[in-house]
Amino acid sequence: MKNILKLFSVIILFSVSSVNVISAEKVEFLKTDWTFKGLFGKFDRASLQRGYQVYTEVCAACHSMKYLSYRNLSEKGGPEFSVAQAKAIAASFEVTDGPNADGEMFQRPGKLSDKFVMPYENVKAAEAANGGAYPPDMSVLVKARGGGVDYIYSLLQGYEEAPNGMILDDGVHYNKYMYGNKIKMSAPLSDGIIEYSDGTKASVEQMSKDVTTFLMWAAEPSLEARHQMGFKAIVYLIILTVLVYFSMKRIWSRVKSEV
């Protein structure tokens, strides 16, 4: 049993140290309590819905989210808009479809099965409209940045006056948390820039938190299912391990040896 413990602690040590090595090189990000962290972490539904509002009214002007469909908005574990609401959201967008029988492309209102409509035709068009910088697609943005949600949350609130002596080119802004501190995106949020439909006060901090939560869901739509299944799986494995341990002791008791 001593050996098992030793072995187990080696593996745990490995896991912990690998986590540390990866998170060691980060700047101190702003912290907030995310409801989706931890063993039972779940999304805050209201925050997701507000986050969608921030995304669609602010971010979506430049940032695409090409791997999401409107149907996702009503799916379990997400913002969980009602199907009717999601349909209304989809219908508020114009989607290019076709070609029709005459070989023409045509516009129609969006359906649940449509992917999120993109703000630009292609990457080049996006770059041209944004001073040469491509606003990255937001579908998996949280997973594509070291620091994840904390980084995005901090970045949105990290706009400051550039320190003395730092010369910024036209269209470049100073951000405390950006790699190299220079960012082409101007501060996207300001107090009261949108009016939340649920009456929550739209402070920069609140909007940052909501939209980051929404982005986390966009990148990991099955996070809740994963946490729920994970807990069941691990409890099941632990019970089975204990049972197998006692069976093993029983079987090995016939032999003069240690297990």
Task: State the residues that interact with other proteins by CB under 8 A.
Answer: 3-4, 7-8, 11-12, 14-15, 18-19, 21-22, 39, 67-68, 72, 136, 139-140, 143-146, 148, 179, 219-222, 225-227, 229-231, 233-234, 237-238, 240-241, 244-245, 247-248, 251-252, 255-259
Two tokens, residue 88: 């209304």
Least distance CB 252 / other proteins (angstroms): 7
3/186 with CB nearer other proteins: 3
Could you give phi then psi for residue 204, rounded to 5 degrees? -60, -40
**CB 66 within 8 Å of CB 134:** no
Least distance CB 128 / other proteins (angstroms): 16
Least distance CB 41 / other proteins (angstroms): 9
88/234 with CB nearer other proteins: 234
106/231 with CB nearer other proteins: 231
45/145 with CB nearer other proteins: 145
Q: What is the DSSP string of 190-248?
A: -TTSS--TT-----HHHHHHHHHHHHHHHH-TTHHHHHHHHHHHHHHHHHHHHHHHHHH
- DSSP single-letter state for residue 10: H
Least distance CB 205 / other proteins (angstroms): 24
54/138 with CB nearer other proteins: 138
- Measured distance CA(254)–CA(10) in Å, rounded: 30
Least distance CB 203 / other proteins (angstroms): 28
207/217 with CB nearer other proteins: 217
Two tokens, residue 40: 């039972």
Instruction: Please report how many Cα atoms fall inside a 13 Å half-sphere around the Cα of residue 184, on the Cβ side.
Output: 12
Least distance CB 27 / other proteins (angstroms): 14
CA distances (Å), 193 to each of 92, 111, 159, 160, 203, in order? 21, 28, 16, 18, 9
